[in-house]
Chain A
Amino acid sequence: MTTMTLLQAVNSGLKDIMQDDDRVVVFGEDVGINGGVFRATEGLTKQYGEERCFDTPLAESGIIGVAVGMALYGMRPVPEIQFADFIFPAFDQIVSEAAKMRYRSGGEFTCPMVIRTPYGGGIRGGHYHSQSPEAYFCHTPGLKVVVPSTPYDAKGLLISSIRDEDPVLFLEPKRIYRSTKQDVPEGVYEVPLGKARIARAGKDVTIVTFGAMVSICEKAAEDAAAKGMDVEIVDLRTLLPLDEEAILTSVAKTGRLVVVQEAPRFCSFGGEISAIVAEKAIEYLQAPILRVAGFDTPFPYSLEHVYMPDAKRVLAAVERAVHF
C-alpha cells in the first residue's frame, strides 16, 4: 500500500497495466516527455519507450480515429484527451465508430480501448476546461462510461476498463485530482465496472451522484446529520452500464431521492436516474425526486462558484425531500 492522490493512482494504474499487458499503448497531446499537462502519464515514456507512450499531432479526432484502428488490430490503446471539453472533434469516431464497431459488424470486429479525459469544474478553467459531457456519451449504446471518485477506485476502475472488451470513456474528476489521499495497493487489481458503491450509509434520503460531486455530497451529508437527517450516498462509479439495483435498493430503504451532478440539468444523466426510479420504485417514494445540477447555461468563469452545485444546494434539496 502507498498513499496516493487520485492523479497518482491513475499514473500507477497505467504503469502497472503497461507492465502487465504489452498491448497497452498510451498516446495523446503532451503525454510523452511532458507526462501530460496534469502529469497523469508521467514517466511512462521513460519506462516503456516511445512506442508505448507517445505524443500525437494536435487533433482529437485523429487521436481517437487512430486508437480505433489500433484496437481493431488487437492493441489496447489508452488515448488521452487533454480536457473533456476538447473531445467533441472526436465525437464521430467515438459514437459512430468505436461504440458501434462490434454491433455493426455482427461481432466480426471489436474496439476495446479506454479514452481517458479530465472533466468537470472547480479549477477556474472557464467554459473550455470545466464541462461534464457524460450525458452525450451515456446516450451511446456500445460505449461504457466510468467516473471514479477516490484514488483506490481510480486505479482499480482504470485497470478494469483497460481489460474490458468494449470501448470505455474514463472521465477523471480533475477538481479532486490532488485534493484527497488514500491507500492504494501496488500492482494490478480490479474494481468491477457496472457496480456502484455506498459511499455513506443512511436511512432518510438517498443521494445518487458520481465523480467530484461525491465529496460535495459527503459534506452536505455531514451538515444534514447535524440537523438530524441521515443521508445515504450512492457513488455510481460506472454510469453506463448503470447499477440500477444499487439505486433501487437504496431508494426502497430511504423513500427519498436526490440526484446530484455538475452538468446542466436538462436532458441530463440525472434525468435518466429520475426516470428509472419513477418507473421502478414509485411505490417507495415519500417525496418528489429532486435534482441538483449545473444551471442550463454555458459554464461560466467568474461565477463558477455560483454555478457549481455545492454542499448548501445539496443540503437544501435534502431538506426539501425530508420535509415534503
Chain B
Amino acid sequence: MTPMSPMSPMSEDLLCVLEPKSAKGKGAKVALPKGLDQAKVQRMYRLMVQTRQLDDRAMKLQRQGRIGFYVPSIGQEACAVGSAFALSDKDWCYPSYREPGAALAVGVSIQAMIHQLYGNAEDVTKGRQMPVHYAFRKQRYVSVSSPIGTQIVQAVGTSMAQRIRKEKAISITYFGDGATSSNDFHTGMNFAAVYKAPTIFLCSNNQWAISCPLGQQTASDSIAIKAKAYGMPGVRVDGNDVLAVWQATNEARARALAGEGPTLIEALTFRIGPHSSSDDPSRYRPNEQLETWQKKDPIERLKKFMKQAGMWSEAFEKEVVESAIDEVNAAVKHAETVPLPASSTLFTDVYATMPPHLAEQQERLLALEKAQGGAEIDKNAAFPL
C-alpha cells in the first residue's frame, strides 16, 4: 500500500548551529553554543572520526569474512556523538544498534567494542550476542536488543528510579524512525510524560527502516510533533550538525534535571550505508536521495566550521585520523589473537547461581567434548538480515 502522505523532512523548523539562517550573510561569525569550547568541539570531531574509522574497518572485516555481521552508522555520527557528549558520568544510555559513537563518547574503548564484534573470550558479553549488541556496565551503556523499541520503555523505568532516588541524573534512549511505530515507543513516551521522568528520547530519523521509507512508518508531519500529544516538548534538530544535537540534548537534560520531565528530540539525518552488512539499499532506495545527503556529511560540515573558527589544522587532522586508524588496527590485531569463549561459558550467566539442570547439561557436554572432540563451526552459516 502506498503511504498516505509522504513527509517532506526538510522543513524550516530544524535547529541548526553550524550554518544558522541568521548567519547566511557574508563574513557572519558563528558563535559556539554556551557550554562548548574549542577543546570540546575538537573532542567531538575526534569521536566522529573514530566512529567513522571503526565503521569503515568493521564493514571491511565483515566483507572479508573475519566478523559475521555489522551495522554501520555512516552519516549518522553526529546524532550519537553530539547527544552522548552532553551526558554526565551518572546518566544512563539505552542505545539501539546504530550508536557506536555514543559508546565512544561515554568512554567505551575501541578495543572493548572490537572484542565484541569478534565475540571472543575478552568480549565482556562473552560472545553471547551478534556484533554491535554491546553492553558496558561501567559506562551505564545498556545491553542492545534487536527487537525494535524495547529499550525505550526501559530507559523510562531507569528515569523513574532516578527520580525516586532523587539522583541528579537522566536516561537517554536512542531509536530510529522505524521504532516510532512500535508499541514501546508509545508506552515509553506515555509513561515518561505521566511521571515527568527525566528521560531524553532521541530519535535518529535516518528516513529508512531497512527498505521502508519514513512515510511508510507515519503520516504525522514530523516525528517531533508526536511529543505534543503525550504532553512533552518535541524538538527537531539537524541531525548532521553535531553542535545542534549537543545543544538540544544539553537543554533537554537541563529540563529533565530541573524536574520538568522528558523531551523528544528528532534528529533529522540519513542512513548513508546499508541497514546492515546483509542489506543492499540499491534494491529500494533512489540514488539521488543518497547523493543529496552525502553532501551533508556531518564530519565534513564540522570540519568546515572548525576551519572557519580557527580550530582545525592539517596537523590536527592528520593526528586525529591516523591515531583513530592505528587504534582500530591495533584492536583488530589483538582481537584476532583471542580465542572463542570456552564451551563451559555457554551455561554461565543464565542465572546468578547455576541451577542443577544446567550443571547437569554442562557436565554432559564437557564429558562428550572430552570423549569425541568439540562441535564443528558451520562455515556456510550466514546471516540474511
Q: Do A and B come from one complex?
A: yes
Residues of A bordering B, CB below 8 Å: 25, 51-52, 56-57, 59, 61-62, 65-75, 77, 89, 92-93, 96-97, 101-110, 141-142, 144, 164-166, 194, 241-242, 244-245
Contact partners of B158 in chain A: CB under 8 A = 69-70, 72-73
State how many angstroms separate the Cβ of B381 from the closest Cβ of chain A: 20
Q: Which of B122-130, B284-292, B301-309, B363-371 contacts A (4 or more CB under 8 A)?
A: B122-130
Partner of A69, one of B125, B147, B157, B190: B157
Instruction: Tell whether A103 pairs with B156 under 8 Å between CB atoms, given A59-B190, A97-B145, A242-B357.
Output: no
Contact A65 B188 (CB under 8 A): yes
Contact partners of B327 in chain A: CB under 8 A = none
Instruction: Tell whether A70 pairs with B135 under 8 Å between CB atoms, given A89-B183, A108-B125, A165-B352.
Output: no
- Show 18 A/B contacts (Cβ-Cβ < 8 Å), sorted by A: A57-B187, A57-B190, A57-B194, A59-B191, A65-B150, A65-B156, A66-B153, A66-B156, A69-B155, A69-B160, A72-B158, A102-B349, A103-B349, A104-B129, A106-B124, A107-B126, A107-B349, A165-B352
State how many angstroms separate the Cβ of A97 from the closest Cβ of chain B: 6
Q: A57-B191, A68-B157, A73-B92 are in contact. List 13 more A-B contacts (CB 8 A).
A: A57-B187, A57-B190, A62-B190, A65-B154, A68-B153, A69-B155, A73-B158, A75-B161, A93-B153, A110-B352, A166-B351, A194-B355, A244-B356
Instruction: Tell whether A106 pairs with B126 under 8 Å between CB atoms, given A62-B188, A74-B161.
Output: yes
Contact B183 A106 (CB under 8 A): no
Contact A69 B350 (CB under 8 A): no
Instruction: Tell whether A109 pairs with B351 under 8 Å between CB atoms, given A66-B157, A68-B157, A69-B155.
Output: no
Contact partners of A73 in chain B: CB under 8 A = 92, 157-158, 161-162
Contact A106 B123 (CB under 8 A): yes
CA A108 to CA B191, docked complex, whole Å: 26
State how many angstroms separate the Cβ of A70 from the closest Cβ of chain B: 4
CA A164 to CA B161, docked complex, whole Å: 19
State how many angstroms separate the Cβ of A24 from the closest Cβ of chain B: 11
The winner among A56, A57, A108 for most chain B CB atoms within 10 A is: A108
Instruction: Tell me the B184-222 residues at the A interface (CB within 8 Å).
Output: 184, 187-188, 190-191, 194
State how many angstroms separate the Cβ of A243 from the closest Cβ of chain B: 9
* Residue B293 at the chain A interface, CB threshold 8 Å: no
Instruction: Tell whether A62 pairs with B351 under 8 Å between CB atoms, given A69-B156, A73-B92.
Output: no
Contact partners of B379 in chain A: CB under 8 A = none
CA A59 to CA B193, docked complex, whole Å: 14
* Residue B42 at the chain A interface, CB threshold 8 Å: no
The winner among A71, A72, A164, A242 for most chain B CB atoms within 10 A is: A72
CA A167 to CA B131, docked complex, whole Å: 26
Name which residue of chain B comes closest to A93, CB basis. B150
CA A65 to CA B183, docked complex, whole Å: 11
A-B pairs with beta carbons under 8 A, tally: 142
CA A66 to CA B153, docked complex, whole Å: 6
* Residue B159 at the chain A interface, CB threshold 8 Å: yes
Contact A25 B164 (CB under 8 A): yes
Contact partners of B128 in chain A: CB under 8 A = 103-106
Contact partners of B145 in chain A: CB under 8 A = 96-97
CA A73 to CA B162, docked complex, whole Å: 8
CA A102 to CA B162, docked complex, whole Å: 21
State how many angstroms separate the Cβ of B259 from the closest Cβ of chain A: 14
Contact partners of B183 in chain A: CB under 8 A = 61, 89
State how many angstroms separate the Cβ of A54 from the closest Cβ of chain B: 9
CA A62 to CA B161, docked complex, whole Å: 15
Contact B157 A241 (CB under 8 A): no
State how many angstroms separate the Cβ of A248 from the closest Cβ of chain B: 11
Name which residue of chain A comes closest to B166, CB basis. A51
CA A241 to CA B352, docked complex, whole Å: 12
Partner of A70, one of B124, B161, B187, B355: B161
Name which residue of chain B comes closest to A243, CB basis. B356
Contact partners of B162 in chain A: CB under 8 A = 73
Interface code B343-361, partner A: CB below 8 Å = 1, 0 otherwise?
A: 0000011111101110000
Name which residue of chain A comes closest to B197, CB basis. A66
Contact partners of A109 in chain B: CB under 8 A = 135, 137, 142-143
The winner among B143, B157, B187, B352 for most chain A CB atoms within 10 A is: B157
State how many angstroms separate the Cβ of B202 from the closest Cβ of chain A: 16
CA A268 to CA B162, docked complex, whole Å: 40
State how many angstroms separate the Cβ of A228 from the closest Cβ of chain B: 36
Contact B153 A61 (CB under 8 A): yes
* Residue B171 at the chain A interface, CB threshold 8 Å: yes
CA A105 to CA B151, docked complex, whole Å: 14
Contact A105 B143 (CB under 8 A): yes
State how many angstroms separate the Cβ of A91 from the closest Cβ of chain B: 11
Contact partners of A97 in chain B: CB under 8 A = 145, 150, 154
Partner of B349, one of A57, A96, A106, A144: A106
* Residue B136 at the chain A interface, CB threshold 8 Å: yes
Contact partners of A107 in chain B: CB under 8 A = 126, 348-349
CA A65 to CA B126, docked complex, whole Å: 25
Instruction: Tell whether A56 pairs with B191 under 8 Å between CB atoms, given A66-B160, A108-B143.
Output: yes
CA A65 to CA B142, docked complex, whole Å: 14
State how many angstroms separate the Cβ of A236 from the closest Cβ of chain B: 14
Contact B350 A102 (CB under 8 A): yes
Instruction: Tell whether A69 pairs with B143 under 8 Å between CB atoms, given A106-B349, A165-B352, A241-B357.
Output: no
